[in-house]
Structure 1
């Protein structure tokens, strides 16, 4: 992330002539901010989430600095509109759908001595957010966010939109509403809304009406990827290929291309991409879950179980890792191991045994016919 330099104005006390102390940000303050964010996202507390973000400092990262009056007027209008419509908390809460998780991975200081919060979003996919934290008016605040799925800072994404609007609008009349780009952004918001509501076909149909130039934009293509992933496998493969061709060697490909590689059965390349992603992240044991699934697709069950075992140690409450291991044990006819996991579902995850038996009937019709399972099922 680019380092942002601020002009520090030193105020002198009239009475004692001593310099006013400038608050220095500490790693503990940053970590506390991260824990608060994690808690507020879990509670879907949009109002409190927004208090952790400084929108003015964020916008100053991409608004053009100029002495021209018309630029100042444009910026004032853009700032007013952006501040009114941009909702950081709502964006995070919408992404964290029911059943998904949003967790603080680590707090760190980069080579420029800037502090960061790395968050992982898992649920229907995987993404990471790297927040830049600065001291603003004596308080630690989030001022920018690097999104791994897009491969760029949020400020860079909005900088591109801002510049396009600036270039294509009539600055003298400040008429933005009539521009194609403005109309496309309105459509994009409607498309996102339809996608959240599960109206994927309508979202895809509306996306086709977006102008060609806007559809070449990364943020538009990412939305198209999300829509197509909920439609047909063929459309999804096409959207991934289109993105790869438009943005070759982009860091976001380590996440975006994984599904495409799996569909093409390029499993070894998947493992390479996961390793490169972990290197970019500075480490995350959670990626062993992805590795375990890739080994499962390769039918390398020993390595898959090894990765899931690591997940059980690192994240004992992560259900999906146990469920993946259960599938392997059933497939390998290691019924004793499979039943141990079913017992764990009841004791640790508080699942009702009758409900679990019904699930197993639907998921594993052959397994429930075995002597081992019948004996387990008959016990109270």
Structure 2
């Protein structure tokens, strides 16, 4: 299946927020944790049970009122045919529930998604009450500040309007655009779906400046530059960085494109720049202890040990029980203590790790790891071994 690309032209209008009772609020938190677990486990049927496929299908097709009922059923079934339904591609290496919130008038649960390759993203999952529980109706992706329903709906609009023109322009919310420009945009969108990044960029450069600065065209160019940058093109990498710096102006302050900037900055060891990106991402999503952990790692590279410990402490304190951020914060503090040759503090962390997680960090656990060589030779570790033997 060709990956979906964002074709979002305008943000959905805010609706009056739905007030939840205390019981519903508690149920929403439980729902968020259950949803995150199903996604982490890659349990397609369990994930699908959380979804409302008909409501999502209606949101996808809301800009196409003239479509026949039969065609709507065909498209809705197609969107939801995967094991995990339309959220199948969001099943990830580790998904953590962060908080409940409101998005576009809907109750929502905010999730952190870390893939098997450790790429990071955030989402607000929009839900509606369903008896004593909830059902998912849409997903807001922070990276491109877009709704999945709009991405798929606009992609379908491009597919079923082969000549482009006024009809497609109306669906995408850009009436008044010249027909020849709309045709070029459609060709650009098709090239993006075919993952032809050079053609996307070529067509982008033919469009008028005011069209290039719209959300849809900007997003297509951004993804094309990212693809070429990942393939090793230095020219594309420079253009990609420039586009990322421009992204908040076009996509909005809630976009988390700063997360895409971090790899570029790490390549040139700009650790302060990465830290700045992570701080801006914290502000965009409303905070996450894992981002503090990542910032602590940047501070470690800068030998700011006081800053590392403060961020690691905050990350552990703010993370929920079961969030791997807690144990990773301990690991980060241990690394600081080892670099400072403070073996007493390192052993104190090992003791806390056993008390909190039941993990016994003995000599065998560190065998072959050069980072721990001096610790294993220290009198503090010898005393720790005696304590373990009791």
TM-score tier, shorter chain, comes to: 0.5 to 0.7
How far apart are 1:226 and its partner, in Å?
8.4
Three-state SS of the structure 2 residue aligned to 1:127 is strand
Three-state SS of the structure 1 residue aligned to 2:136 is strand
Partner in structure 1 of residue 337 of structure 2: 329
Preserved contact between residue 225 and residue 237 of structure 2 (Cα < 8 Å) = no
Confirm or deny that 1:292 pairs with 2:279.
Answer: no
**In 2: Cα distance, 1:129 partner to 1:366 partner:** 43
Deviations 1:12-71 (A, max 9, x none): xxxxxxxxxxx9x943443332233134334433112112111222232232545656x7
Number of aligned residue pairs: 326
Alignment match of 1:353 (pick from 346, 359, 362): 362
**In 2: Cα distance, 1:228 partner to 1:355 partner:** 42
How far apart are 1:245 and its partner, in Å?
6.9
Partner in structure 1 of residue 101 of structure 2: 108
**In 1: Cα distance, 2:62 partner to 2:102 partner:** 28
Confirm or deny that 1:130 pairs with 2:124.
Answer: yes
How far apart are 1:263 and its partner, in Å?
3.5
Confirm or deny that 1:244 pairs with 2:244.
Answer: yes
Preserved contact between residue 184 and residue 210 of structure 1 (Cα < 8 Å) = yes
1:1-380 map, 5 Å: 2=12, 26-63=24-61, 65-66=63-64, 68=66, 75=72, 77-85=74-82, 87-88=85-86, 90-93=88-91, 95=92, 97=93, 100=94, 102-109=95-102, 113-122=105-114, 124-135=118-129, 140-168=134-162, 185=193, 212-213=199-200, 218=219, 241=241, 244=244, 247=247, 249=249, 250=251, 251-315=255-319, 318-347=326-355, 348-351=357-360, 353-359=362-368, 361-373=369-381, 376=384, 380=389
Structure 2 runs not aligned, ≥5 long:
1-10, 165-186, 205-216
Instruction: Please give the TM-score of this superposition, normalised by the length of structure 1.
Output: 0.68
Preserved contact between residue 165 and residue 181 of structure 1 (Cα < 8 Å) = no
Q: Which moved more, 1:159-168 or 1:234-243?
A: 234-243
Distance 1:219 1:363, change over 3 A: farther
Deviations 1:290-325 (A, max 9, x none): 232222222211011111122233337622111111
Instruction: Please give the TM-score of this superposition, normalised by the length of structure 2.
Output: 0.66
**In 2: Cα distance, 1:265 partner to 1:180 partner:** 35
Three-state SS of the structure 2 residue aligned to 1:307 is helix
Structure 1 runs not aligned, ≥5 long:
7-22, 171-178, 188-206
How far apart are 1:211 and its partner, in Å?
6.6
Distance 1:29 1:151, change over 3 A: same
Three-state SS of the structure 2 residue aligned to 1:149 is coil
Distance 1:357 1:82, change over 3 A: closer
Larger relative contact order (CA 8 Å, sep ≥ 6): 2
**In 2: Cα distance, 1:55 partner to 1:227 partner:** 35
